Amino acid sequence: MRGKRLFIAVFLIPPLLLYGIFVVSPYAQAFQISGTNWSGLSPTYEFVGLDNFHRLLGDGYFWNALRHNGLLLVLLPVVTILLGLFFASMISVGGRAGRAGVHGVRGAGFYRVVYFFPQVLSVAIIGVLWKEMYAPHTGMINGLLRAAGLDGLAVAWLGDPRFSFWCVLAVLVWMNVGFYVVLFGAAMQSVPRDLYEAALLDGAGRRTTLVRITVPLLWDTIQVAWVYLAIIAIDGFAIVQIITDGGPNSSSDVVGLRLYKTAFADGQFGYASAIGVAMFFLTLTVAVMFLRVTRRDRVEL
Amino acid sequence: MKDRAVPLLSHAFLVVWALLTTLPLVWAVLSSFKSDNEILTDPWSLPSRLRWENWARAWGEAHIGRYFLNSAIVVTGALAVTMLFGAMAAYVLARYRFRGGRIVYFAFVGGMMFPVFLALVPLFFVVRDLGLLGTLPGLTLVYAAYSLPFTVFFLTAFFRTLPSSVAEAAMVDGCGHFRLFFRVMLPMARPGLISVGIFNFLFQWNQYVLPIVLMQGEDAERKWVLAQGLTALAVNEGYRGDFSGLFAGMTIAMLPVLAAYLIFHRQFQSGLAAGQLR
């Protein structure tokens, strides 16, 4: 038995040390620092209780950023999941003409590979690429618009407060759809083929099949997808920082970027940690709300 | 006529999205061969010849080569630490009963619930106080630490599914705990290790906020990873007007992973899908 104890200790202690130092202790300290007015320049700081959170409530920049995260939280999952479901059902079971049985459309394999491209690019590459795509003179988008004779539409996409947020949203949708096509596609493979065949025989069209068969059977997967996209929407930091840096005029600011700038540009570490704590509770609230809203009887097969 | 129009529209939509995902990448690669003048006059023109000198400039002068190497070093090291530590902890938590085991398991898995932004400020000071700020080993350890929650969660579930008869037989034959793990259980867990390995590779290769927070300060520039180097290049090239260099840098950064994906796309997709269906 001594050997077993030693074995457990040797295998568990190094990972626990690494995890404790770099993950657990920062998380614990964050709550503590959020109650101080620490500016990082001086080693001394005072506990100010909930002052940072009071200040947060009256901080217009914070609310502005939070509003953008809220919009992302609603729009990003809805748009991405709808597109993902549509593409996945076309690719997996959308084929109709000619061949017997249920199969994907022609070129399904090609689409499946190509849609996944953004998923394997790092977020920095995607950010820089789209910054160049949106560029007013050298960008691909305005180049296309001018070639089509639509010079009036070739605007400064990222330089206009009316468009900057939507440009960011478009990139976030673009980079995420491919993954959910694969995820939903994999889930559809586990749906018995004869269900689709029966629907086909009964004369159900693509849309009926999608709404009546695919969505109810994939409900669990759709929930998972929603949670992941919500996490991405609450974050949003990298793309926003690279493409617009929150501008112009904070028109595309998000909470993560607020935190980063408050900490590492302004040096207000106490206040920045308070923003972090707020983000944590936001995540928690969204998770709990989500679990309450979507609780629904599973379809048993 | 109507019932033919709808499928046609659906197909058109599929094609449009395929163009949306491929054209920007093709555009970046083509632009990396153009001269700045060609880029400025018409974004859609083709390069008049293949200007590999853009690539050389990005690799050397813009230090993309160095950043690439740094990224490779950090991700290789972090992946090795993650997989070893993750497998060790998961194996013990899955196959041994001991006091506190469940608490340790939930401590690891609970890490998945917290947004990394919450830890950002204290993490910066933890790393600084250890003297690891702006160093590759520091970033490596941080990557590995933040990959542990999911790795432990996934591998614990995987080790539980392995049959215990093999382990028992080995024990009867006098095989010790360490030998059992390295010679019997680890090889049996290979499919799980590969899935979670691909997932971790992409997670670590794609990191953005951790390096920009932890790789600052003077002299840190030499230690930058690709994500930082590329965004800095995007900001600087804007001033200097070296657009072709920027596109070349971008192309160099994305081609290796894209090529690996095209070869192993099945494994990539199943690895990632398995990772997110947790």
Does position B90 have pLDDT exceeding 90, yes or no?
yes
Partner-chain residue, chosen from A14, A125, A183, that has the shortest CB–CB distance to B250: A125
Query: What CATH class does A69-257 carry?
Result: mainly alpha
DSSP string, A179-217: HHHHHHHHHHHTS-HHHHHHHHHTT--HHHHIIIIIHHH
CA distance to partner chain B, nearest, from residue A3 (Å): 8
Give SS3 for A36. strand
d(CA B34, CA B55): 11
Give SS3 for A173. helix
Kindly report the backbone phi and psi dihedral angles of residue B130, in degrees, each rounded to the nearest multiple of 5, phi listed first: -85, 0
Partner-chain residue, chosen from A30, A131, A287, that has the shortest CB–CB distance to B121: A30
How high is the pLDDT of residue B86? Answer: 95
d(CA B249, CA B65): 9
- Given a contact cutoff of 8 angstroms between Cβ atoms, the answer to whether A72 and A254 are in contact is yes
The residue behind tokens 């491209």 is: A117
Contact list, A183 vs chain B (CB under 8 Å):
273, 276-277
Check A111 against B6: CB less than 8 A apart. Answer: no
Q: Mutation test of the interface with chain A: which of B29, B44, B117, choosing the one with the most A Cβ atoms within 10 A?
A: B117
Which of B132, B6, B276 has the alpha carbon at shortest distance from A178? B276
Domain limits, chain A: 69-257
Domain limits, chain B: 2-51, 62-241
How high is the pLDDT of residue B271? Answer: 67
DSSP string, A16-35: HHHHIIIIIHHHHHHHHHTT
Region at B8 (left for phi over 0; alpha for psi -120 to 50; beta for the rest): alpha
How high is the pLDDT of residue A98? Answer: 47
The residue behind tokens 């996209």 is: A229
d(CA B69, CA B226): 8
Contact list, B213 vs chain A (CB under 8 Å):
260, 264
Check A15 against B152: CB less than 8 A apart. Answer: yes
Chain A nearest-CA residue for B255 = A121
Q: Which CATH number describes the domain made up of B62-241?
A: 1.10.3720.10
Q: Indicate yes or no: pTM above 0.90.
A: no
Orientation of helix A2-19 relative to helix B64-95, angle to 10°: 140
Can you give the pLDDT of all 301 residues of chain A as single tens digits?
A: 568 889 999 999 999 999 999 999 999 999 988 888 887 666 777 788 788 888 888 888 999 999 999 999 999 999 999 999 999 888 877 665 545 556 677 778 888 889 989 988 889 999 999 999 998 888 888 888 888 888 878 888 888 889 999 999 999 999 999 989 988 888 888 788 788 888 878 877 777 888 888 888 888 888 888 888 988 898 889 999 999 988 788 899 999 999 999 998 888 888 999 999 999 998 888 888 877 776 655 554 4
